[in-house]
A and B are shown apart, each in its own frame.
Chain A
Amino acid sequence: AQKITQTQPGMFVQEKEAVTLDCTYDTSDQSYGLFWYKQPSSGEMIFLIYQGSYDEQNATEGRYSLNFQKARKSANLVISASQLGDSAMYFCAMRLMNRDDKIIFGKGTRLHILP
């Protein structure tokens, strides 16, 4: 079964520290995409970063990077130099190439950045 697991329901991190949010996925498909989204208290889901299953390099977007370990089926999000505005809910998601175009979301991790 296709599944995304985020084992950290909540995290507290001091401002300016780096943060790693865990995500593992389960699929037998070879072609898939992995995503991270941020949802602040306003409710909007904001796309952060994408990693394709055939990409050899880890994706990076500014302060965000995705630590992709295909053999372990993990796709952890790393936020460098955290800021107060990073406090939000973070969702890991997977999209399968040949599966009705659905996207599968994890349950999310609530990140709190402390001043």
Chain B
Amino acid sequence: DVKVTQSSRYLVKRTGEKVFLECVQDMDHENMFWYRQDPGLGLRLIYFSYDVKMKEKGDIPEGYSVSREKKERFSLILESASTNQTSMYLCASSMNQLREQYFGPGTRLTVT
């Protein structure tokens, strides 16, 4: 069965803290993605990776960085969390360019 896991379902952090969101997939997928989802704005792509140590900016990369040291793991980093980064964060992976993405359960991050 396809499996994408995220390190936390809920997270509360303070402004200025460094935040790590971890995502792991067990399907040997090449491609991994990070999205944020906000009411009225839908899903927006932050970063994606098509191979180990490779990363590409999505539509809203500002304030975020990513790391992919191993194929199965894709980390999203908030260098200095701000209140406007309060959101639902969704990780996804896919086998190749045209096929479906499989999503993790999401992390609801609150920055106070």
A contacts, CB < 8 Å to B: 31-33, 35, 37, 42-47, 50, 52, 91, 95, 97, 100-103, 105-108
Q: Is B70 engaged at the interface, CB distance under 8 Å to the other chain?
A: no
- A28 smallest CB distance to B (angstroms): 17
Q: Is B31 engaged at the interface, CB distance under 8 Å to the other chain?
A: yes
Provide a sorted-by-A list of 19 A–B residue pairs whose CB atoms are within 8 angstroms.
A31-B98, A35-B101, A43-B105, A43-B106, A44-B106, A45-B92, A47-B100, A47-B102, A47-B103, A50-B99, A97-B97, A97-B98, A100-B56, A101-B31, A101-B97, A102-B48, A102-B58, A103-B33, A105-B42
Number of A-B residue pairs with CB-CB distance less than 8 Å in the complex they form: 56
B contacts, CB < 8 Å to A: 31, 33, 40-43, 45, 48, 50, 56, 58, 88, 90, 92, 97-106, 108
Chain A residues near B92 (CB-CB < 8 A): 45
Q: Is the CB of A33 within 8 A of B58?
A: no
Complex CA gap A50/B103 in Å reads 15
A95's nearest neighbour on chain B, judged by CB, is: B98
Taking A52-B98, A103-B101, A108-B42 as given, write out 12 further A-B residue pairs in contact, using a Cβ cutoff of 8 Å, ordered by the A residue number: A33-B98, A35-B101, A42-B105, A43-B106, A44-B103, A47-B103, A50-B99, A91-B42, A97-B97, A100-B56, A102-B58, A105-B43
